[in-house]
Structure 1
């Protein structure tokens, strides 16, 4: 029988107190545990029973692909069109992303043998280096919606209710398959050593429990710009940690070529190497766009090395300033 003794005690307590939402939440956790143990029919039956029971209740979970009500205040839904080939990443990072896609596409084969596909990812690195784009790529390649959860907004807007709001998101993830991006994750996962330990620790512990019990049908992605401040307890809870960094000159050229396309004819990319140092993927894209607009507005049909050099210099000045 899937489900721990603690789960069953929680089911009894929530039923006795008349707390339907708590009852359904624990039932979904049991379903997720059943799926991880290979009891797929039981997991499906439990989830179907929860959905059916909630169908006549005003507190039912709304499909998060089209969030309404309270969920519309917690997430932003989108359907990205960014493909894997558009993502410029070093070899090892690209292989990690391909591995996630392969395991998700062949999840049934893995589950039939008692193994879960990778579905809990931590993305860390400087701003503008492709973390959000990676979530978009996963959504597009797997034909799933991307649901972005802004933790900083939840924690400030729903003070005292943060854990319950996060629970709502994880419950919805059990019902609606998707890519769930917890952006600016350091707002929640930062190592707490000050006076706010109590509430922050409770919220973090709740998140860790939800993460641990999450099923492999949806992919949970946490993105942070500040790995160094994350609580160490977090790292072992994720299936894979992906490290992002600023692009080298070769990758920088690939990023700009990808944005400019055919209008980048004749650019001497090697002459731009010293001007891309310290710029992120996002900076490079904006510089390429600035150069393209300059060329177009001056009557040129292509972007030259000079326009790109000038745009990169301006972007470096803005970034340093």
Structure 2
């Protein structure tokens, strides 16, 4: 019931703000929740209502608060994810951490009333394609919040000399607008540097950490990095939790492939694929499954063959080596 309460709260907020896109996104999340619970009629009615409502001319005099404007619009990308924790394949220890963060956020008012802040400053570290961005999407979806993505590497290169001022704009939004804020490529600030930009990067990092210290627990701020080894160890204590990501093992790889293939994987044996999935990230596995599925569909078949999947997985391995 807690999750449903979060969705209803988000719908009320988006309705009051006139943010139709956010309202419909949350409504579809509720429909998906009902479908998973076996309430297919309710789910279908919600979807039909959303589809019919979208045909109505939108109200032009309403400000869509979830869509950034002005300088902020140039700094962040806004999405309304609809991916749930059930769809996330990861070791139990990692999913346990994510569940705990969600639980603290859902009971943040109770925690705050007793002088405790919910975990809201997170550092995600691990190889590319292992689920860091998906984790941010899961948190946004489970808590019925918009997600704002800031790519620090491009921010640093595009606004060199004024990056700290741009960061201030983003953190002002964090204080004003509840959401999940993902700062991607965090190592572009926190890594070891050489050259003329080292002083600028250090100043920007210090500004980021000052802003992070004062961030509101109403929002979740996430820093994601592919390179933990180059981060200053002192940075880690600035976060409420550090989540570590790894390449999937054979069992997790099979689960990722099975989930992506859906009905096209019916009857497909995924046993003893370890040699073909070794070294591949979650993103690589999804791409390989999609390649095999599209090949089957274009042949007019309704199921993926094992040899097609192996070919796709091998191609991804070779691409990574190249």
What is the Cα deviation at residue 300 of structure 1? Answer: 1.3
| Paired residues, number | 260
| Equivalent in the alignment of 1:92 | 93
Give the structure-1-normalised TM-score: 0.79
| Residues 258 and 136 (structure 1), Cα distance of their counterparts in 2 relative to 1, 3 Å cut | same
Is residue 68 from structure 1 mapped to residue 69 from structure 2 by the alignment? yes
| Equivalent in the alignment of 1:46 | none
SS at match of 2:273: helix
What is the Cα deviation at residue 271 of structure 1? Answer: 3.0
SS at match of 2:89: coil
**2:158 & 2:90 partners in 1: Cα distance?**
35
| Equivalent in the alignment of 2:56 | none
| Equivalent in the alignment of 2:172 | 171
What is the Cα deviation at residue 155 of structure 1? Answer: 1.0
Is residue 201 from structure 1 mapped to residue 202 from structure 2 by the alignment? yes
Indicate the larger mover: 264-273 or 107-116: 264-273
**1:92 & 1:199 partners in 2: Cα distance?**
37
The Cα offsets for residues 283-315 of structure 1, whole Å up to 9 and x where unpaired, read as 000000011111111121111211111111111
Give the structure-2-normalised TM-score: 0.78
| Equivalent in the alignment of 2:139 | 138
| Residues 236 and 64 (structure 1), Cα distance of their counterparts in 2 relative to 1, 3 Å cut | farther
What is the Cα deviation at residue 113 of structure 1? Answer: 1.1
Aligned residues: CA RMSD: 1.4
| Residues 304 and 244 (structure 1), Cα distance of their counterparts in 2 relative to 1, 3 Å cut | same
| Equivalent in the alignment of 1:187 | 188
| Equivalent in the alignment of 1:258 | 259
What is the Cα deviation at residue 195 of structure 1? Answer: 4.7
**1:99 & 1:192 partners in 2: Cα distance?**
35
| Equivalent in the alignment of 1:234 | 235
**2:232 & 2:74 partners in 1: Cα distance?**
27
What is the Cα deviation at residue 64 of structure 1? Answer: 6.2
State the structure with more CA Rg. Answer: 1
Is residue 223 from structure 1 mapped to residue 220 from structure 2 by the alignment? no
SS at match of 1:271: coil
SS at match of 1:270: coil
| Residues 64 and 130 (structure 1), Cα distance of their counterparts in 2 relative to 1, 3 Å cut | farther
**2:295 & 2:69 partners in 1: Cα distance?**
42
| Equivalent in the alignment of 1:276 | 277
The Cα offsets for residues 238-278 of structure 1, whole Å up to 9 and x where unpaired, read as 00000000000000000011111111012221132210000
Q: Does the 8 A contact of 1:65 with 1:147 survive in 2?
A: no
| Equivalent in the alignment of 2:3 | none
**2:289 & 2:252 partners in 1: Cα distance?**
14
The Cα offsets for residues 65-103 of structure 1, whole Å up to 9 and x where unpaired, read as 211111111000000111110000101000000000000
What is the Cα deviation at residue 174 of structure 1? Answer: 0.4
**1:63 & 1:163 partners in 2: Cα distance?**
26
**1:274 & 1:64 partners in 2: Cα distance?**
49
Is residue 108 from structure 1 mapped to residue 122 from structure 2 by the alignment? no
SS at match of 2:259: helix
The Cα offsets for residues 27-81 of structure 1, whole Å up to 9 and x where unpaired, read as xxxxxxxxxxxxxxxxxxxxxxxxxxxxxxxxxxx98621111111100000011
SS at match of 1:269: coil
| Residues 64 and 233 (structure 1), Cα distance of their counterparts in 2 relative to 1, 3 Å cut | farther
Q: Does the 8 A contact of 2:150 with 2:184 survive in 1?
A: yes
| Equivalent in the alignment of 2:52 | none
What is the Cα deviation at residue 236 of structure 1? Answer: 0.4
Structure 2, gaps ≥5 residues long: 1-62
**1:200 & 1:286 partners in 2: Cα distance?**
35
Q: Does the 8 A contact of 1:103 with 1:118 survive in 2?
A: yes
